[in-house]
Amino acid sequence: MAPETLNRVQKDALALLVKVVDTYDMQVAQGEVGADGTAQAGTAPPIAGRCPTGLLYGRVQSGKTVAMITFWH
C-alpha cells in the first residue's frame, strides 16, 4: 500500500477505536477501559441497560477490512 493509504487507514482505525472506547465507557461500564481504565470487567449490568451494537459501512474497497484488522491488533 502507498504511504498515504496506510496513514489514512491508521487514522481511521484510531478514530474507530476512540469511538468504541468512549461508547463502552458511557454505555457499558465507566472506568473499565481507556488510558485510565482498570482493565478489569465488573459485575454490574451495563449502564444503558444493554450493550450497544454498531455497524461499520463504507464504499467498496474503502479500507473497512484493513481498519478492522488494524483495530484488533
Query: Per-residue pLDDT averaged across 56-64, rounded?
Result: 84
> How many Å apart are CA 68 and CA 44, to the nearest integer?
28
- Closest alpha carbon to 55 in 47, 46, 64, 66: 64
Q: Which three cell numbers stand for residue 28?
A: 457499558
Place of cell 444503558: 48
Cα-based torsion angle of the residue sequence 3, 4, 8, 9 in order, rounded to the nearest 10 degrees: -30
* Residues of the chain above pLDDT 70, percent: 96
CA pair distance 19, 61, nearest whole angstrom: 22
- Flag whether the pTM goes above 0.75: no
What cell does 54 get? 454498531
For residue 49, what pLDDT band results from cuts at 50, 70 and 90?
very high
